[in-house]
Structure 1
């Protein structure tokens, strides 16, 4: 097949996307397909072989059979790109518009899980206008979460703009720093549990990989450097947990994937407290594919090679496209 691999993008995760896309291009070629490399520049232009592309609704993309978007953050995994690909009328890897948008917004995602009584850490959302108008009231409301807490832009990834706050005096500066990236911020209660991640693959009835344990080697928490610098963390797969707990992680990973309407792939992140209690933290609809990324490593540990994983994702994209286009709308 001809596979258009999208790299770069407008978000602060542009460079991470370039690294992920390089690995995906190699995997797609190793699986026997032809790659059409498309770079989305920081300004938003789409470039192929040095020339800027002009996109036409219903016109596909470079005659590709399927598109593999390897983009992170806003304008990549938040539903906007997915909407564009829908209008181009081309199959694409990963979640559709609604699931992408829902999962990108950490607060909406948590509220959907809370409605189903899925266990998770306590949290609160803060909007910029409220913080500017009533900082003392916001600080009092957040005090119920205790310390430490994590302050995060609500619609960003790769640990950009995140701070671990140990005292009330640090809260204001952390909120201001997060608001530099997003007008909506989430503040999450601290969990001392084991950080566990699980890769999911499929459409309506997905499969879950062996869960992996994140062991930090030089950081107090799972920050940008720990995620993307070689040696920043070690992945232990399977996670050092009892079999029944590993089973619960896999069950919750698939349940969460289906509950929010994902397709193709996702990585679900957890805390496991006291070796027993499993808390869902978040779901990433377009996880990294760099040499340090957990998603492909967990599938490799589960017996699925990287080229076979890429091939399976392309097949799932076409399967979903054909299913959705078979209904009247």
Structure 2
């Protein structure tokens, strides 16, 4: 059987660079080597692309705080419009092995905001995950909220400010609308990067300063009292939902460190202790959110489950973490899909969508 060649793109110019390195390591370790040849493409923090060798692509790989991309002298570039040799080595201008599919395990800015997805579409390469539109709107918490509200889906109350409007932000007015405590978040970041919990005026302005370091737009959001429930969704036009899991933070809130570094930062109840009725409700809601935001391939949908059974969407992550303590693969494992099988299904979904899109006409008149 001929093996397919999978290009794994990881790292990137993002605050979640190190998380991406951990995710890539787990995927490389778990992918079925009898079905796939792997090409590793590491992007450093300056945005330079490196062709990496599987034996030495990471430094300090066992330490999530010190993990680094091993930069190489094998820089590569993308050549749009080619049917083959889309990736070229800059050292000798030679085309690399043809990629059958790309797995862009890039978290955060330029990785799950539609940027890399648009580039891969232009390069005519099938890729794992949501396309340009779904990635962009899901990444922007402000836009995602607007679309979900339009679809009749419950989201937390919030206000949005851009950096040029910072002088008009009034603590007392925001407090009156949202009450305390509240959360301040960059609109276009994931994994709790730049997120602050605010209990007073001093923390409010500190939180704004912190969030604006990561984005030009920030969201200030009410606190929802409820259980933190997450669902993994898998599929294209007919997606399925995993059993729900629950986050039980051992810190003040589920921070970046709790998610990816400190294994004791939160307990994960997988699956969540929910009635069959609530489980079905959460799964159905996750698929509705997934489709409302035009997601494909995969996403993790996060909810707050209030005491009265009401569900409030927290956020949608279209390229969730694949580290060894990440919720997305753990949820599928408990739902009957192993880590290697999950990777295989994601690759199959990417090729399926590519073949579907190839059937679309791109000219009014044909020769």
Q: Is this a same-fold pair by TM over 0.5?
A: yes
Where structure 1 has 5 or more consecutive residues not aligned to the other structure, the ranges are none
2:10 aligned residue: 7
2:117 to 73, 82, 90: 82
2:93 aligned residue: none
Q: Which moved more, 1:113-122 or 1:140-149?
A: 140-149
Alpha-carbon distance between aligned partners in 1 of 2:6 and 2:305, rounded to the nearest angstrom:
38
1:135 aligned residue: 169
Please tell me whether the aligned partners of residues 31 and 310 of structure 1 are also in contact (alpha carbons under 8 angstroms): no
Alpha-carbon distance between aligned partners in 2 of 1:55 and 1:169, rounded to the nearest angstrom:
47
The answer to whether the aligner puts 1:323 opposite 2:323 as a matched pair is no
The answer to whether the aligner puts 1:56 opposite 2:73 as a matched pair is no
Alpha-carbon offset, residue 281 of structure 1:
1.1
1:284 to 314, 317, 322: 317
Deviations 1:112-145 (A, max 9, x none): 001122112111111111113x233x65145310
Alpha-carbon distance between aligned partners in 2 of 1:104 and 1:120, rounded to the nearest angstrom:
15
Kindly name which structure, 1 or 2, has the bigger radius of gyration based on alpha carbons. Answer: 2
The answer to whether the aligner puts 1:202 opposite 2:235 as a matched pair is yes
Alpha-carbon distance between aligned partners in 1 of 2:151 and 2:10, rounded to the nearest angstrom:
35
1:246 aligned residue: 279
The answer to whether the aligner puts 1:45 opposite 2:45 as a matched pair is no
Please tell me whether the aligned partners of residues 233 and 300 of structure 2 are also in contact (alpha carbons under 8 angstroms): yes
Greater RCO, 1 or 2 (C-alpha within 8 Å, sep 6+): 1
Alpha-carbon distance between aligned partners in 2 of 1:328 and 1:35, rounded to the nearest angstrom:
32
The answer to whether the aligner puts 1:110 opposite 2:145 as a matched pair is yes
The answer to whether the aligner puts 1:70 opposite 2:119 as a matched pair is no
1:35 aligned residue: 38
Alpha-carbon distance between aligned partners in 2 of 1:295 and 1:139, rounded to the nearest angstrom:
39
The answer to whether the aligner puts 1:227 opposite 2:262 as a matched pair is no
Q: Which moved more, 1:230-239 or 1:300-309?
A: 230-239
1:268 aligned residue: 301
Q: Secondary structure at the match of 1:47?
A: strand
Please tell me whether the aligned partners of residues 31 and 308 of structure 1 are also in contact (alpha carbons under 8 angstroms): no
Alpha-carbon distance between aligned partners in 1 of 2:177 and 2:34, rounded to the nearest angstrom:
52
Aligned residues: CA RMSD: 1.3
TM-score (norm 1): 0.96
Alpha-carbon offset, residue 275 of structure 1:
5.5
Alpha-carbon distance between aligned partners in 2 of 1:262 and 1:95, rounded to the nearest angstrom:
5
CA pair 171-267 structure 1, distance change in 2 beyond 3 A: same
Deviations 1:89-108 (A, max 9, x none): 01000000011000010000
Alpha-carbon distance between aligned partners in 1 of 2:334 and 2:153, rounded to the nearest angstrom:
27
Q: Which moved more, 1:235-244 or 1:181-190?
A: 235-244
Please tell me whether the aligned partners of residues 235 and 296 of structure 2 are also in contact (alpha carbons under 8 angstroms): yes
Where structure 2 has 5 or more consecutive residues not aligned to the other structure, the ranges are 53-71, 88-95, 363-367
Please tell me whether the aligned partners of residues 151 and 292 of structure 2 are also in contact (alpha carbons under 8 angstroms): no
Alpha-carbon offset, residue 215 of structure 1:
1.2
Alpha-carbon distance between aligned partners in 2 of 1:9 and 1:29, rounded to the nearest angstrom:
25
Please tell me whether the aligned partners of residues 151 and 164 of structure 1 are also in contact (alpha carbons under 8 angstroms): yes
1:151 aligned residue: 184
Deviations 1:274-327 (A, max 9, x none): 061111111000000001100000000001000000000000000000101111
2:269 aligned residue: 236
Q: Secondary structure at the match of 1:247?
A: helix
Which residues in structure 2 correspond to 1:113-128 (within 5 Å)?
A: 113-128=148-163
Q: Secondary structure at the match of 1:29?
A: coil
Alpha-carbon distance between aligned partners in 1 of 2:335 and 2:33, rounded to the nearest angstrom:
19
Alpha-carbon offset, residue 151 of structure 1:
0.3
Alpha-carbon distance between aligned partners in 2 of 1:275 and 1:306, rounded to the nearest angstrom:
35
